[in-house]
A and B are shown apart, each in its own frame.
Chain A
Amino acid sequence: MRILEVRNLVKVFGGLRAVDGLDLTIDEGQILGLIGPNGAGKSTAFNCIAGVYPPTAGEVCFYGEKTNGQKPWDLCSKGLARTFQIVKPFASKSLLYNVMVGAFSKTRKRGKAEEKALEVLTSLHLYAKKDMKAANLTIADRKRLEIARALATEPKLLLLDEVMAGLRPTEVDEMVAIIRTLRDRGITVFLIEHIMRAIMALSDRIVVIHYGRKISEGTPKEVASDERVIKAYLGEDYGVS
Chain B
Amino acid sequence: MTGKNLEKAFLALVLMVVFGLPLILRSPTYLHILVLLYLYAYLTTSWNLVGGFAGVLPLGHAAFFGIGAYTSTVLYVQYGVSPWFGMVLGGVIASITGIMIGLPTFKMRGAYFALATIAFGEGMRVMVENIDHLGPLNINGPRGLQIPPLNVGLANLMFINKEPYYYIILVMLIAVLALTYVISRSRLGYYLNAGGEEPEAAMSLGVNVARCKLMAMAMSSFLTALAGSFYAQFSLFIHPKSVISLDLSFEIAFIALIGGRGSIVGPVLGALLLRPVSDFSRIYFGATLPGLHLIIFGTVLILVMIYLPRGLQQPLTRAYQRILNRLAQSPR
A: residues with CB less than 8 A from B are 50, 52, 71-73, 76-77, 81-82, 84, 88-93, 97, 100-102, 104-105, 108, 110, 113, 149-150, 152-153
Question: B206 and A150: CB pair below 8 A?
Answer: no
CA distance A81 to B190 in the complex (A): 18
Per a CB cutoff under 8 Å, which of A73, A88, A89, A92 touches B207?
A: A73
Question: A97 and B190: CB pair below 8 A?
Answer: yes
Given A82-B204, A153-B205 in contact, is the A93-B187 Cβ separation under 8 Å?
Answer: no
Chain A nearest CB: distance from B64 CB in Å? 28
Given A88-B198, A90-B197 in contact, is the A100-B190 Cβ separation under 8 Å?
Answer: yes
- Which chain A residues lie closer than 8 Å to B197 at the CB level? 90-93
Question: A88 and B201: CB pair below 8 A?
Answer: yes
B: residues with CB less than 8 A from A are 185-187, 190-191, 193-194, 197-198, 200-208
CA distance A91 to B55 in the complex (A): 13
CA distance A80 to B171 in the complex (A): 45
- Which chain B residues lie closer than 8 Å to A92 at the CB level? 197
Chain A nearest CB: distance from B183 CB in Å? 12
CA distance A113 to B204 in the complex (A): 17
Beta-carbon nearest neighbor of A106 in chain B: B206
Question: A101 and B200: CB pair below 8 A?
Answer: no
Question: A101 and B191: CB pair below 8 A?
Answer: yes
Q: 4 closest pairs, A vs B, by CB?
A: A105-B206, A76-B206, A88-B201, A72-B203
Beta-carbon nearest neighbor of A159 in chain B: B204
Question: A90 and B193: CB pair below 8 A?
Answer: yes
Best-surrounded residue of A82, A100, A101, A149 (most CB of chain B within 10 A): A101
Question: A101 and B202: CB pair below 8 A?
Answer: yes
Question: A104 and B187: CB pair below 8 A?
Answer: yes
- Which chain A residues lie closer than 8 Å to B208 at the CB level? 71, 73
Question: B205 and A77: CB pair below 8 A?
Answer: no
Question: B206 and A77: CB pair below 8 A?
Answer: yes
Chain A nearest CB: distance from B264 CB in Å? 15
11 additional A-B pairs beyond A73-B207, A90-B202, beta carbons within 8 Å, are A76-B205, A84-B201, A91-B197, A97-B193, A101-B190, A101-B194, A104-B206, A105-B207, A110-B186, A149-B201, A152-B205
Beta-carbon nearest neighbor of A83 in chain B: B204
Question: B204 and A81: CB pair below 8 A?
Answer: yes
B interface, by DSSP: helix, strand, loop or mixed? Answer: helix
Chain A nearest CB: distance from B37 CB in Å? 29
9 A-B contact pairs sorted by A residue (CB < 8 Å)? A50-B204, A73-B203, A89-B201, A90-B198, A93-B197, A101-B191, A104-B187, A104-B206, A113-B187
CA distance A88 to B201 in the complex (A): 6
Chain A nearest CB: distance from B73 CB in Å? 40
- Which chain A residues lie closer than 8 Å to B204 at the CB level? 50, 52, 72, 76, 81-82, 84, 150
Question: B201 and A73: CB pair below 8 A?
Answer: no
Question: A90 and B206: CB pair below 8 A?
Answer: no
Per a CB cutoff under 8 Å, which of A52, A102, A110 touches B206?
A: A102
CA distance A123 to B145 in the complex (A): 64
Chain B nearest CB: distance from A189 CB in Å? 16
Question: A71 and B203: CB pair below 8 A?
Answer: yes
Beta-carbon nearest neighbor of A92 in chain B: B197
CA distance A135 to B106 in the complex (A): 26
- Which chain B residues lie closer than 8 Å to A153 at the CB level? 205-206
Chain B nearest CB: distance from A113 CB in Å? 7
Chain A nearest CB: distance from B230 CB in Å? 32
Per a CB cutoff under 8 Å, which of A82, A90, A113 touches B194?
A: A90
- Which chain B residues lie closer than 8 Å to A76 at the CB level? 204-206
Given A52-B200, A84-B200 in contact, is the A101-B186 Cβ separation under 8 Å?
Answer: no
CA distance A26 to B25 in the complex (A): 74
Beta-carbon nearest neighbor of B186 in chain A: A110
CA distance A212 to B223 in the complex (A): 51
- Which chain B residues lie closer than 8 Å to A150 at the CB level? 204-205
Chain B nearest CB: distance from A130 CB in Å? 15
- Which chain A residues lie closer than 8 Å to B193 at the CB level? 90, 93, 97, 101
- Which chain A residues lie closer than 8 Å to B201 at the CB level? 84, 88-90, 149
CA distance A88 to B200 in the complex (A): 8
CA distance A110 to B184 in the complex (A): 11
Chain A nearest CB: distance from B162 CB in Å? 40
CA distance A82 to B205 in the complex (A): 8
CA distance A104 to B207 in the complex (A): 9
Best-surrounded residue of B185, B186, B190, B202 (most CB of chain A within 10 A): B190
CA distance A142 to B165 in the complex (A): 51
Chain B nearest CB: distance from A174 CB in Å? 23
CA distance A147 to B190 in the complex (A): 18
Question: A89 and B187: CB pair below 8 A?
Answer: no
CA distance A217 to B204 in the complex (A): 28
- Which chain A residues lie closer than 8 Å to B202 at the CB level? 90, 101
CA distance A88 to B187 in the complex (A): 20
Chain B nearest CB: distance from A95 CB in Å? 13
CA distance A82 to B160 in the complex (A): 62
Chain A nearest CB: distance from B193 CB in Å? 7
- Which chain A residues lie closer than 8 Å to B198 at the CB level? 88-91
Beta-carbon nearest neighbor of B209 in chain A: A73
Chain A nearest CB: distance from B46 CB in Å? 22
- Which chain B residues lie closer than 8 Å to A93 at the CB level? 193, 197
Question: B205 and A101: CB pair below 8 A?
Answer: yes
